[in-house]
Amino acid sequence: MSDGDSDPTHLLSPSNYAEKFSKDKAYIISFPTSLQASKSLHEYNISNSIFSNSSISEVSTSVPSLAFFLETKGPTNDGSSPKSGGFISVMDITSIANSQTLFRFPVASNPLSISLSPNNEYLAVSSEEFDNELQVIEINTEGKPVRKVKKPTALGNGRISHICWSPDGDFLVYSNTTKREIGLIQVIRDGPTQKIIRLQLYGEPIKLGLNPGIGKFTPDGKYYIASDVKNSKSEQDNLLPAELFVVKFNFEPDQQHYLLSKQEVGYNLEDFVIHPNSNTIFALSSSKSFYSQQSMSKQDAGELHLLEISPSGAISEVASYPLKGKYPSGLVIDSDGSHIAISIFEYENYGISLGGIQFWNYLETPNKRLQKQNVDFYLPKGVHYLKSIK
């Protein structure tokens, strides 16, 4: 995804939003990439925004294969703050070479996070709109909305920064930044049709840090990796390093959940991905790389973190790697875990302003490490969120 009408310094002051570069875009390239792949770049006009570091796109595993994109913030309004976002754009990506934008439909104002159910039937969307902080939207095989299921009444009106389906599709995990907690929502289905009829809170939520954000289940379903991003982007002083937590959810009635361990992962955590082996994590922090400054010192640069999880759930950092460029914020891993890609909003170049994508190799022997590939993929300024299509 590329936000064409913003600059990363606007993260510090969203009201100062006066630049106009180009239209917002969605790009599709092959991954892992090659020089040959650079000749088959596909781009589409899709409204998107850098004002979210949660999940803003999803891809179905059904046929046709559909991609859903959140408009987290709308276009700029006469050079001032961005308008409220409020749409999901849908693309048919069954054939990458012949992908096409289909339509878009409205959701609540300023959506923050999207998650597609494992059976491709429901989109869970969190937003900043009062009383619509969480919606579950039933969609048909064409990706069109059929009906909406309201949030549980007991959830209240706290800010839901992130939403995620459990691997079996029977629960939703939410991050509530107002109450500083994460919790479970149970999906109640009609017996004969297996359609969702209501949502209800399940068990006691877990208090988690200062500003709970993105979270993901390990591929084996054993653990849930949750984040505490600590600071908001607009904060510049007294920064605290973000943390990743290993959580063991208990899906049995009246049973306790457990926080097993935690690990610091630098300032301004943007995203993390989990290796298919379920015991390796790659985390991306942007640090102070989007701050207004003439030159970026190494201590202000973004970082790529390599971490591992023990069988008992203990998380620790193996190594970290500094990154060149302003605001690295997108991170994906390929299907076998051999390669990862990182988006760079803007490289520090003289002359033409360019963004792009870096590619790294993951090597397990003789010890775990990351190795940057020699070639970067250059794109117009504004690249941020990445999504892997398997």
Q: Between 310 and 75, name the one with better pLDDT.
A: 310
Q: Is residue 364 in some structural domain?
A: yes
Is 2 among the domain residues?
no
**Would residue 388 count as lying in a domain?**
no
Q: 20 Cβ partners below 8 Å, 6+ apart?
A: 5, 76, 79
Domain that residue 365 falls in: 8-380
Q: What's the structural domain count of the chain? A: 1
Please determine, for residue 259, whether its predicted confidence score (pLDDT) is greater than 70: yes
| Whole-number Å distance between alpha carbons of 285 and 274 | 15
Cβ–Cβ < 8 Å for 281, 214: no
386 domain residue, yes or no: no
State the Cα–Cα distance between residues 377 and 383, nearest whole angstrom: 11
Residue 101 has pLDDT above 80, yes or no: yes
CATH of the domain at 22: 2.130.10.10
Note the pLDDT of residue 36. 61
Whether pLDDT at 247 is above 60: yes
Q: Report the predicted TM-score, pTM, of the whole model to 2 decimal places.
A: 0.91
Quick: pLDDT tens for 33-45.
766 655 667 787 8
Q: What is the pLDDT of residues 280-311, one digit of tens each?
A: 999 999 999 888 764 566 778 899 999 999 99
Domain assignment of residue 340, yes or no: yes
State the average pLDDT over residues 228-251: 90
The answer to whether position 54 is within a domain reads: yes
The answer to whether residue 385 sits within a structural domain is: no
Give CA separation, 258 vs 172, 183, 264, in Å: 17, 12, 19
Q: What is the pLDDT of residue 294?
A: 47
Would you tell me how many other CB atoms lie within 10 Å of the CB of residue 311? 7
Among 148, 122, 46, smallest CA distance to 88 is for: 46
CB 359 within 8 Å of CB 339: yes
Model confidence pLDDT, tens digit, residues 340-350: 999 999 887 77
The pLDDT, as a whole number, for residue 2 is 78
In a domain, 389, yes or no: no
Res. 22 pLDDT band, cuts 50 70 90: low
